[in-house]
Amino acid sequence: MRTADVPAQPWRNGGGVTRELLARPDRDHWRVRVSVADVAVDGPFSTFAGVARWFAVLDGAGVVLTIDGVEHRCTAGDDAIPFAGNADTRCRLIDGATRDLNLMLRGVRGELRRVVAGAAWRPRARECGLYATVAGSCRSAGRVEAEAMPAQALRWWPAAPDAIAFDGAGWWLSADTAPAP
């Protein structure tokens, strides 16, 4: 699913818009949610009690996230930042608007990690995905032909392959869709 094909939904605080790329099992009762947000102004993050969150900057100069009083500088070259959904979180833009990738997990385990171009990734979860920031080819274990991935798009595997490789830049996402103990 291409980010550009998903309608933008405005935030309640007016600070930006979100494009929900994935909500599993469904939009109202999600356990796994992947979204891309365009942040236009400084402000607080919404609170999601019981949710594990990951945040990564895709475009723009980045942000400073203040999570429970601790500042974290986040730029497009940095790893994703994990934090609790109930944390007091505020965002300050470094130099203008940003576009950010968000993974939220409710009651399940998972991760958001940067793709190493061409290197095999072995997901340790039941489901996984690839958010491609540039166009490229993705090859999963057991597949003879590579799958073309457009830029700024999400591909989700409901049954994670043993290994996946992508020849471009992007982010691996995983979710162990069975409830965490």
- Same domain for 69 and 148: no
**Residue 161, helix vs strand vs coil:** coil
Position 157, amino acid? W
The answer to whether residue 162 sits within a structural domain is: yes
Q: Write out pLDDT tens, residues 112-168.
A: 999 999 999 999 899 999 999 999 999 987 777 889 999 999 999 999 999 999 999
Question: Is residue 143 exposed (0-12), middle (13-18) or buried (19+ Cβ within 10 Å)?
Answer: exposed
- In the beta sheet, which residues pair with residue 74? 63
CB atoms within 10 A of CB 141: 12
CA dist., res. 47 & res. 50, Å (int)? 10
- Give the mean pLDDT of 169-181: 81
Question: Is residue 74 exposed (0-12), middle (13-18) or buried (19+ Cβ within 10 Å)?
Answer: buried
> What tokens appear for 117 in the block?
């171009």
Please tell me the predicted confidence (pLDDT) of residue 142: 72
Per the structure, the complete domain to which residue 170 belongs is given by 109-176
- Same domain for 27 and 101: yes
- Give the mean pLDDT of 81-87: 96
The answer to whether residue 40 sits within a structural domain is: yes
Please tell me the predicted confidence (pLDDT) of residue 138: 95
Please tell me the predicted confidence (pLDDT) of residue 177: 75
CATH code for position 28: 2.60.120.10
Q: How far is CA 125 from CA 19, 87, 110, 142, 174, in A?
A: 24, 25, 7, 17, 6
- Same domain for 133 and 82: no
Average confidence score pLDDT of the chain? 93
Q: Show which of 58, 81, 106 is a domain's final residue.
A: 106
SS3 content of the chain, % helix, strand, coil (to 5): 0, 50, 45
CA dist., res. 90 & res. 118, Å (int)? 35
Q: Write out pLDDT tens, residues 1-44.
A: 999 999 999 987 777 899 999 999 999 999 999 999 999 999 99
Please tell me the predicted confidence (pLDDT) of residue 143: 72
The answer to whether residue 181 sits within a structural domain is: no
Query: Given a cut of 70, is residue 181 above it in pLDDT?
Result: no
Please tell me the predicted confidence (pLDDT) of residue 32: 96
Number of domains in the chain: 2
- Give the mean pLDDT of 89-108: 95
Please tell me the predicted confidence (pLDDT) of residue 179: 54
- Same domain for 102 and 113: no
- The helix/strand count (H/E) of the chain reads as 0, 17
- Same domain for 71 and 26: yes
CB distance 81 to 74 below 8 Å = yes
Please tell me the predicted confidence (pLDDT) of residue 178: 64
Q: Show which of 82, 106, 130 is a domain's final residue.
A: 106
